[in-house]
Structure 1
Amino acid sequence: MTLEQEIRNKSSQVSTNSYSMSVNELVSMYRDGELNIHPEFQRFYRWTVGQKSRFIESLLLGIPIPPIFVSERLDAHWDVIDGLQRLSTILELMGELKNEEGIIQEELCLIETRYLPSLKNRTWSAKQGEQQSLPDSAKIKIKRARLDINIVKQENDEIAKYEIFQRLNTGGSLATDQEVRSCILIMNNREFFLWLQKLCDFTPFKDCLILTDRAIEEAFDLELITRFVVLATCPTSQLNGINELGTFLTDKIVEIANDDSFNQNEVEDVFKKTFDYLSKQFGENSFRKYNHKKETYMGGSLVSLFEIVAVALARVLLNGGDLPNESEFEKAHRDLSQNETLKEFTKSGVRSSTRIPKTINFGQSMLEQWVKSEQ
């Protein structure tokens, strides 16, 4: 197929309409349940009060706002796929925003901005102490402000919708691939996302990790769960074909979420066996390097060791193998940091897509050898 043909074929799969709507019209649609902003997404967005106040300032001053992207569902309702924080800020200011439980959130209290310092302590209705309500003229100006809405039509392929969401949000207000991935999963299969979260809360799993506050804030623990599920269940041939890791993980976890034959119970059982074993054997040292000179584990949890130890162990269990002998595994675990072969493909500068097939195959071969020697 030529490039021209590819462009024609793929362009025909994405159909959009666009038009302008007032803030008041969008708020009415939200009240009536016709506009879904996915309150679950709020945990992945980190706009400060200052950013929210500057956005309201832009509405009041008529500064152009980037378009909102929505996806049209079969029932004609809209799912917001880009612009959630902008719409949420408006709804929060007007006292309309609901959380995941459907409870109305407290009104946004604005702070002073560069051009409108008198926004400080202003709210929509001034329900508390020092707050002052916005003047009626400002409220009317906000309600009449018009936003450009781009509508991804319902006839589009579902994957195209998620692809648009990913491309719009990567590098924007969503800081990490995992946060985008989580939002895509919520849009696609909320129950599957909640299952991943349940795995993330498994105490032995958390006991095996040393993560920075920033890593936790950016949901890196959930990224490790995603890696575990994807990399433990993918055929070796697919691991060898990884090009860009972030895209691969997103595509595969969405594919798994849509796969009715995927055995969640089996994977969850293997996950719990893996981390029960590692937690009791190594605890927070599970994915740390061992310093032989100082005779102690050092540093934080390493993704490469997560692949060699946890993912490889899960693949052995899923293939019908057993847990390795504890004393044999303990010695081998300490010696991982001295293995020359391992050093070669885990050194700085090696792409993760190049490293992953090698780390997992290395760990799987070692584990299978330990189990075999024990038998």
Structure 2
Amino acid sequence: MTLEDEIEQYRRKIATDSYPMSIGELANLYRDGEIDIHPEFQRIFRWSDEQKSRLIESILLGIPLPSVFVAQSEKGIWDVVDGVQRMSTIFQFMGILKDENGEPYKPFLCAETPFLSQLKDCSFEESDASIRSLTSTQRLDFKRARVDMKIIKRESDNRAKYDLFQRLNSFGSMATPQELRNCLLVSLSDKHYKWLANISENPAFLEVIDLPERLINERYHMELALRFIFLHGIPQEKLSAVGNIGDFLTAEIVPFVDYDDDRLAEEGDVFTAVFQLLLDSGGADTLKRFNATRGRSEGPFSLTAFEAIALGIGFHLPGESPTPDVVQKKRVKLWGDSRFSAGHATGVRADQRMKVTIPFGRNLFAN
């Protein structure tokens, strides 16, 4: 296949359109629920007041804005892929932005800007909180300002949307890898994102992994849930080709959104059963290193234990589950193996470690 053939083949997977729209038109689409800027992203892509104010100043000065990329859902709704913070800032300034619970945000007051000194503490419309507001003429000019919209049509495949999202959002972002995966997942299937968010809040799971608040805030618990879903039943031959674990998890988002309700229910049942068993088997200690000499658990949550114990049990479910006593005996056996002795795996890449831990865990809980 020539380069030209490859270009043509890939282009057929992406159906796009492009046209300018006024801010007023976009605001009407937002009010009618026809454009989704994903308010759950606000914590991830949060601009400072200075950044927001410079955007408002740019619009008032007539400075062209970068294109906003949206993906058209099956229902025709536009999901913002790139431009979440720009759209959020504009809508908050206009006083129409709502949070994920449908509650309105407090309208944004501009901070000091480089060129328009009178924009400081200025609001879109008159309010008690602002010193000044835009005039009616300025509001009309603001609403008539145009934004170039790039639309990925719904006939485009999910792989194309995935590639575009990666290219637009991976460089220079302050978001964690899992936060970016969450954004990608929402843009592909809100249903699957909500399913993942729900199982990640399972009380037994959270108690067993026992993560510090910082990692919870960075959504590492959601990454661990994805690792479980994608790895507990992975075929042995595919395990050897995982490579970088972060890239693997992100790539697996695309086939994940094809899981039907029955598959999601089955995965949810296995997930719940495994972490309830681990909770009954010793709680947070179960996935920590066990020091046989001292007869106690040590240190924080251990990925080695997660891969060998949690994934090992999950591999054999649904089916007969081991008892908590058996889990504890298998755990002692795990840490008694020289391959998992203290410090032995320090610095080993995740994919190299998993080639040992995952098969070991499957064998460990085979009988």
User: For the Cα contact (< 8 Å) 2:231–2:311, is it kept in 1?
Assistant: yes
Q: Quick one: structure 1 residues 105 and 241, their matched pair in 2 at CA, closer, same or farther if it must change by over 3 Å? A: same
Shift of 1:120: 4.0
Q: 2: distance between equivalents of 1:188 and 1:366?
A: 37
- Structure 2: any 5+ residue segments left out of the alignment? none
- Structure 1: any 5+ residue segments left out of the alignment? none
Q: 1: distance between equivalents of 2:24 and 2:344?
A: 55
Letter in 2 for 1:25: E
Letter in 2 for 1:365: N
User: For the Cα contact (< 8 Å) 1:289–1:334, is it kept in 2?
Assistant: no
Question: Is 1:214–2:243 an aligned residue pair?
Answer: no
Letter in 2 for 1:361: P
> Which residue in 2 is equivalent to 1:179?
179
Q: Quick one: structure 1 residues 346 and 363, their matched pair in 2 at CA, closer, same or farther if it must change by over 3 Å? A: farther
> Which residue in 1 is equivalent to 2:321?
322
Letter in 2 for 1:59: I
Equivalence map 1:10-159=2 (5 Å): 10-73=10-73, 77-113=77-113, 118-129=118-129, 131-136=130-135, 139-159=139-159
> Which residue in 2 is equivalent to 1:235?
235
Quote the RMSD (CA, aligned, Å).
Answer: 3.0
Q: 1: distance between equivalents of 2:4 and 2:350?
A: 32
SS at match of 1:164: helix
Q: 1: distance between equivalents of 2:55 and 2:302?
A: 39
Q: 2: distance between equivalents of 1:241 and 1:365?
A: 20
Question: Is 1:251–2:251 an aligned residue pair?
Answer: yes
Shift of 1:338: 5.3
> Which residue in 1 is equivalent to 2:194?
194
> Which residue in 2 is equivalent to 1:8?
8
Q: Quick one: structure 1 residues 314 and 96, their matched pair in 2 at CA, closer, same or farther if it must change by over 3 Å? A: same
Any idea what the Cα deviations from partners look like across 1:52-82, whole Å, max 9, x if unmatched?
Answer: 2343344345555332111245665432111
Using the TM superposition, name which of 204-213 and 100-109 deviates more: 100-109
Q: 1: distance between equivalents of 2:146 and 2:173?
A: 22
User: For the Cα contact (< 8 Å) 1:71–1:80, is it kept in 2?
Assistant: yes
Using the TM superposition, name which of 270-279 and 115-124 deviates more: 115-124
Q: 1: distance between equivalents of 2:302 and 2:114?
A: 43
Any idea what the Cα deviations from partners look like across 1:21-80, whole Å, max 9, x if unmatched?
Answer: 332232233234432323343354333434323433443455553321112456654321
Q: Quick one: structure 1 residues 205 and 132, their matched pair in 2 at CA, closer, same or farther if it must change by over 3 Å? A: same
User: For the Cα contact (< 8 Å) 2:67–2:149, is it kept in 1?
Assistant: yes
User: For the Cα contact (< 8 Å) 1:208–1:284, is it kept in 2?
Assistant: yes
Shift of 1:87: 0.2
Shift of 1:126: 4.4
Letter in 1 for 2:250: T
Letter in 2 for 1:135: L
User: For the Cα contact (< 8 Å) 1:317–1:323, is it kept in 2?
Assistant: no
> Which residue in 1 is equivalent to 2:280?
280
SS at match of 2:96: coil
Any idea what the Cα deviations from partners look like across 1:107-139, whole Å, max 9, x if unmatched?
Answer: 12333345556544332234344x224332654
User: For the Cα contact (< 8 Å) 1:189–1:258, is it kept in 2?
Assistant: no
Letter in 2 for 1:125: E
**Equivalenced residues, count:** 366
Using the TM superposition, name which of 298-307 and 335-344 deviates more: 335-344
